[in-house]
Amino acid sequence: MSTFSPESPATDSPSPNPQYARRSIRLGTRGSALALAQTEIVRALLERQSPPIPSVVEVVHSLGDRVPDRPLAALESQGIFTEALEHALRESRVDAVVHSAKDLPSTLAADMLLVAAPGRDDPRDCLVTAGGTSLRDLPPAATVGTGSPRRVAQLRLLRPDLRFEPLRGNVDTRRRAALSGKVDAVILAAAGLRRLGLLDRHAAVLSIEDCLPQAGQGTLAIEIRAADQRMADIFGTLDRVYGSTRACLIAERAVLAHLGAGCQAPIAAYAEILPDQSLLLRGCVAAMDGRVVLRASRQGRVEMAAEIGRTVAEELRSQGAGAVLATAEGEAT
C-alpha cells in the first residue's frame, strides 16, 4: 500500500512585494476544529514568506454548520459549506477564504477565483472503529455511519451486507459515534484525522483501489475575489510553490464539472503525478446499491489536466453515468 505525507514545497517561496506585508490578511473559515486547523496551516505558510505576511482569522457560519442533523444528500449540496463564506468575500468582510477543496462547488461564480491549492495531505478514506478493525474484518451486517453517497456506493460493492446510516457532525463527533458503540464504524477522511492528531490505532486506512477519494480530498483551496490583485499576487506565490497539487485538483474538479454534479454525488475522482511526471486521473460513478460501478482513467501531460478531466467525464457518461447519477439524486430527495 502506498503511504502519503503532506506535500512539501517544490522550491523555496519567492518573496512577494514588501508592501503586501504591511496589512493583515483577513482569512475567512468555518468554525469547526478541522477548518480552524486548516486555516492555521495557511497562516503558517504566510508567516514563512519573506517578509512575513500577518493574518487574522474570521469565523463564518455556513448553512451546513447551521443544520448539522440533516443529511447532506437531502440538502441542496452545491455550495452548502461555501455560500456564506463567498458572501463574506463579496461584502469585503474577509480577504480570502480557506476551504477543504472537496467542499467547493465544481464551478465557481464569475466573481470568485480559486487562486491557490497549497499542498495535499493523505487523500484516502479511513474506517474508524473502537478496535481499529479493517473493512473486511467488520462483523456481518455491521452498521457504518457516513453521510457520503460516494463512500456508501463504493463500500457496498465490497461489503453488500453492511448497513449504512446517515451521520453528520464534526470529525470528533462522528469519530466518537464509533468509539462509543452508537455505530460499529464511521468513514472519515485521513487528512482530517491527521490534521487533528486523530489518525491513531482506531483508524484503518482504506486503499485508493477500495475507495476512490472525492475530488479534492486532502487538498486545501484558497478562494478570493477575482478582481483582488493583491490577494492574487500573494496567494499566487504559494500556488507556484506547490508544484503538483493544482494540476491534480484541476483534473479532479473537471470530472465533476463536466458531469454536472455536486460534491455530494456518488462520484470519485483522484489524480496523481507519476514518476515520469505525467498525470494519471481515475474516475468512478457508482449506484447507491453498489450494483453498478462505472470506472474510467486517462494519463497525459500535466498541462493538459483540464482536458484529461473532461475526457474521463465523457467516458463515464458514455458508460451510463447520467442515468446512475439521476437515480442517486432521486434516492437522496
Domains of the chain with bracketed CATH: 18-120+219-242 (3.40.190.10), 125-205 (3.40.190.10), 252-332 (3.30.160.40)
All cell numbers assigned to 87? 458572501
> What's the rounded mean pLDDT across residues 219-246?
89
Contact 165, 141 (CB under 8 A): no
pLDDT at residue number 12: 42
**CB neighbourhood size of 157 (10 A):** 17
pLDDT confidence bin for 6, thresholds 50/70/90: low
The average confidence (pLDDT) of the chain is 88
pLDDT at residue number 128: 98
Burial of 243 (0-12, 13-18, 19+ CB in 10 A): middle
pLDDT at residue number 23: 82
What backbone torsions phi and psi does residue 108 show, to the nearest 5 degrees? -85, 160
pLDDT at residue number 82: 86
pLDDT of 121 higher than 90:
yes
pLDDT of 92 higher than 80:
yes
Q: Could you read off the pLDDT of 162-198 as tens digits, one per residue?
A: 999 999 889 999 999 999 999 999 999 999 999 999 9
- Tell me the percentage of the chain whose pLDDT exceeds 90: 74
pLDDT of 69 higher than 90:
no
Q: Could you read off the pLDDT of 8-47 as tens digits, one per residue?
A: 544 444 445 555 556 899 999 999 999 999 999 999 999 9
Q: Could you read off the pLDDT of 245-279 as tens digits, one per residue?
A: 999 999 999 999 999 876 678 999 999 999 999 99
pLDDT at residue number 221: 95
pLDDT at residue number 237: 83
Q: How far apart are CA 29 and CA 262, in angstroms?
A: 21
pLDDT of 66 higher than 80:
no
Residue 125 among the catalytic residues: no
pLDDT at residue number 333: 55
Contact 269, 327 (CB under 8 A): no
Task: Point out the catalytic residue in the list 95, 103, 121, 184.
Answer: 103
Contact 194, 122 (CB under 8 A): yes
Count Cβ neighbours within 10 Å for each residue of 271-297 and write b for 16 or more, e otherwise.
Answer: bbeeeeeebbbbbbbbbbebebbbebe
Residue type, 15: S
